[in-house]
Amino acid sequence: MPETLLRVAIAIGGLVDITVAVLALFFQPLLGPLFDIPTKDPALTTIAGGEYLVVTALYLLLLRDLPRYRGLLWLVALDQFLAALLPGIEIARGHVVATWKTLGPIPLNLALAVVYIIAAARPADRGPRGLPARRYVR
C-alpha cells in the first residue's frame, strides 16, 4: 500500500475525530443537528469529547512519525471499526434514529479500518540495524 494513501487515510480519521471532539467539548448543541448524536447527558458528552481528543493525538503521532508509531495503526483501526459497529447496535436497540447522518459514515469508517489493518499487518521496512528504514543513519 502506498504510504501516501495511508497518510491520507490517517489524516481523514484524525479530522473526523477532532471535529467530533471539538463539538462535544465546546458546541454540544450542534452534535444533534450535524450528526444525529444525542446529547441527553452533557457531562457524558464532554467526557466522550475528551476521549475523542486523546484518539486524535494518536492520529497526529502517526502523521508525525509513521515508522516509529506504526503499532498505533491497530488502535486507530479499532477506533474506526467501533465507529461503524456501535451506531449500528444503538440503531438496532432503537436508541438512535437510522438516518443518512448515522448510517452514511459507516462505509467510510469500515474502509479506513481496513486500510489501517492492512498497513499494520504489513511488516515494517527495516534498515541494516533492525531500525525502521527511514530512521537508519550511518
Question: Looking at beta carbons, which pairs linking 33-42 to residues 24 or more positions away fall under 8 Å?
Answer: 34/101, 35/101, 35/102, 36/96, 36/97, 36/99, 36/101, 36/102, 38/95, 38/96
pTM: 0.84
> Could you read off the pLDDT of 37-86 as tens digits, one per residue?
888 899 999 999 999 999 999 999 999 999 999 999 999 999 999 999 99
Q: Is residue 25 part of a domain?
A: yes
What number is the average pLDDT over the span 89-96? 88
How many structural domains comprise the chain?
Answer: 1
Q: Is residue 94 part of a domain?
A: yes
Q: Is residue 113 part of a domain?
A: yes
Percent of the residues in the chain that have a pLDDT greater than 70, as a whole number: 89
What number is the average pLDDT over the span 113-129? 82
Task: Please name the residues in contact with 9: beta carbons below 8 A apart, sequence gap of 6 or more.
Answer: 112, 115, 116
| Interatomic CA distance for residues 41 and 112, integer angstroms | 29
Q: Is residue 16 part of a domain?
A: yes
Q: Is residue 13 part of a domain?
A: yes
> Could you read off the pLDDT of 22-37 as tens digits, one per residue?
999 999 999 989 988 8
- Cell numbers linked to 113: 479500518
Q: Which domain holds residue 104?
A: 3-122
- How confident is the model at residue 78, as a pLDDT? 97
What number is the average pLDDT over the span 2-15? 95
